[in-house]
Every structure is written in C-alpha cells, then in structure tokens.
Amino acid sequence: MKIIVLVKYVPDIEAGYQFNSARRLDRGGDGLLNQLDEYPLEQARRLAEQFGAEVVALTLGPDEAEEAVRRALQMGADSGVHVCDAAVEGSDALATALILAAAIRRLGGADLILCGAGSADATTSLIPVQLAARLQIPALTGAASLTVQDGAVEIRRDLDAWSLQLAAPLPALVSVNDKTGEPAYPSAKAVMLARKKPVESLDLADIGVDPAAVGAGGAKVEVASITPAPARAGGQILDSESDDVVAAFVALLQANALI
C-alpha cells in the first residue's frame, strides 16, 4: 500500500507574520508544519505499522516549506516531495489543487491520499475535495476515525446531530480532523533517521503544469486589503480574594442590558 500525506508549511501565527505589498503572505518568516497535518501523518504512521505501507509526504510551497516535509519525515513518512516554483506565488485554492493533483499523478498516484482538516493560515478546507475531484477518486472528509480493510477505507464523520459511517473503495482521498488521535512525539532516534530520508524537489515543468494557469495571474480571487483585527484591549482584572467580583460581573451584565 502507498500513502501520500499532504502537508502544508504555514507561518507561526503566534510568532507574528507579515503580508507583503502585493497583499500576499510573506512565506519567508517563521514557519512550521501545519499542526492539523500532524493528524493525517499519525494515521499514516499507524497504517504503515499495520500494513507495512510506504508513506510519502508531499508539500507545495516556498523554499522554507521543506521544513514541513522534514518534520513529516521525523513523524514517520519514508520520503518527501517538495513542489517549489516561483510561478506558484499568489495561487488560489483552485490552482493549488491543480498543482497538487499534477504532482500526485507524476508520483504515480497512491492507494490512499491523506489530508488535514484545514490550514492554520487560510483554513478554507477547499483543497481536499477539489483534489479528489481532479484525480477522479472518491473523497471521505472530516474523518474523526479511520480504518482500512479489504481494499476499502471507512470513516466516521460527526455532524452536529448525526454521526455518519462512510466507506469508499481504494484509491481514495480522506481528510482527517483532530479527533483521530494525538500524534506521537518523534523519538530522538526518529529525528536522526529522518535526516537520511530522501526529499525530491520538483518544479512546475517537472509535473507538467503551465505556469500561466496558476499563481497570481491565474487566480480568480483578488485580495483588496488586509487589516489587523481590532485590538481587544484587556479590561479590568479583579482578584476574587480581595475584590467583590460578583458585584462587578452583575454590574457588567446590567450596563450592557444582558439581563
């Protein structure tokens, strides 16, 4: 069995981030593997233990995005693929899925393609189903649990009022959420072994994608402006030992006509 796990390199939002003059995220700053992509990596690791599967981590992103692949290798992936090309900058979701689909075809496809539930920076969740549709394979998304058996994959998808049990024959794409089980922290040995694992670099020409179809030129979403969220000034801090905190709470309710 071959599994491709899609991993995205995202800025460390807590460490701060910047948008450039073209209103595009400056991807050169402090970044890391999208945390929600650790969950599909963990599922891949468990499936590899169970079936002896080969796990390939695939990312599309700037030079620095190799860090996300390196982390994926520490977390159990056997090899990495980094698609990197200056023409990609400014791509919308449609173009991103187009490139990822071409890369997966070039890698000869997989029995199972695993994605995270969303990226920390854009969090559109548009990619997984667009990718599956382009590859013409079934998509099972929002998995809270996942099992593979007899050439088929089965998941549980939780809605507010219902749980769905869904299944599809392989090859299939599955996006998994953060209820599938906490990722195991890589051991020192795993970190060391990861240094020797191969990472292949590909550009758009390698995977047969026309640069004009992607990037800012091909994007159908045009960003007009980006502004910081209105700062929430920290307000009054009281101590229940010394202040009448209940009176302050009731006063706040009354002043805002909440009761």
Partner 1 sequence: MSDILTLLDDPAREAERLAFAGAIGRPVGVRLAGGPELAARPGTVAAALATLAVERDAAAVLLPQGLFGAEVAALLALRLGAAAITDVVAIDPDLTATKPIMAGTAFSRARVTGGLAIFTVQPGLEAPPLAEPAEVVELAPPAAAAGEDRVAVLGLTPRAASGGRPDLLSAEIIVSAGRGTGGDLGPVEQLADALGAAVGASRAAVDAGWVDPSLQVGQTGKTVSPRLYVAAGISGAIQHQAGMRGAGLIVAVNEDPEAPIFEIADLGIVGDLGEVLPAAAAAVRAL
Ligand X SMILES: Cc1cc2nc3c(=O)[nH]c(=O)nc-3n(C[C@H](O)[C@H](O)[C@H](O)COP(=O)(O)OP(=O)(O)OC[C@H]3O[C@@H](n4cnc5c(N)ncnc54)[C@H](O)[C@@H]3O)c2cc1C
Toward ligand X, which CB reaches closer, 14 or 150? 14
Per CB under 8 A, which region of 105-113, 185-193, 209-217, 231-239 contacts partner 1?
Answer: 231-239
- Show the tokens assigned to 199: 């990472």
238 binds, among ligand X, partner 1, none (CB under 5 to 8 A by kind): partner 1
> Distance between CA 211 and CA 88 in Å, rounded?
7
Region 163-192 residues binding ligand X, contact defined as CB under 6 A: 178
For residues 68, 69, 71 and 74, what is the CA-based torsion angle, rounded to 10 degrees? 170
Decide: is 121 part of the binding site for ligand X (CB under 6 A). Answer: yes
Identify whether the C-beta of residue 93 lies closer than 8 Å to the C-beta of residue 130.
Answer: yes
Region 28-47 residues binding ligand X, contact defined as CB under 6 A: 34-37
> Distance between CA 162 and CA 7 in Å, rounded?
29
User: Residue type for 118, please?
Assistant: G
Decide: is 115 part of the binding site for ligand X (CB under 6 A). Answer: yes
Region 194-223 residues binding partner 1, contact defined as CB under 8 A: 219-223
β-partners of residue 32 are 10
Per CB under 6 A, which region of 86-94, 146-154, 181-189, 231-239 contacts ligand X?
Answer: 86-94
| Side-chain half-sphere CA neighbours of 97 within 13 A | 18
Region 96-155 residues binding partner 1, contact defined as CB under 8 A: 97, 117-118, 120-127, 129-130, 132-134, 136-142, 144, 154
Toward partner 1, which CB reaches closer, 91 or 202? 91
34 binds, among partner 1, ligand X, none (CB under 5 to 8 A by kind): ligand X
Identify whether the C-beta of residue 74 lies closer than 8 Å to the C-beta of residue 81.
Answer: no
Strands 9-11, 2-6: pairing is unpaired
> Distance between CA 72 and CA 79 in Å, rounded?
9
Among 1, 2, 17, 184, binds partner 1 (CB under 8 A): 17
Decide: is 27 part of the binding site for ligand X (CB under 6 A). Answer: no
Other Cβ atoms less than 10 A from the Cβ of 94: the count is 17
Residues lying near ligand X in the complex (CB under 6 A) are found at: 6-8, 25, 34-37, 58-61, 91-93, 96, 115-116, 118-119, 121-128, 178, 221
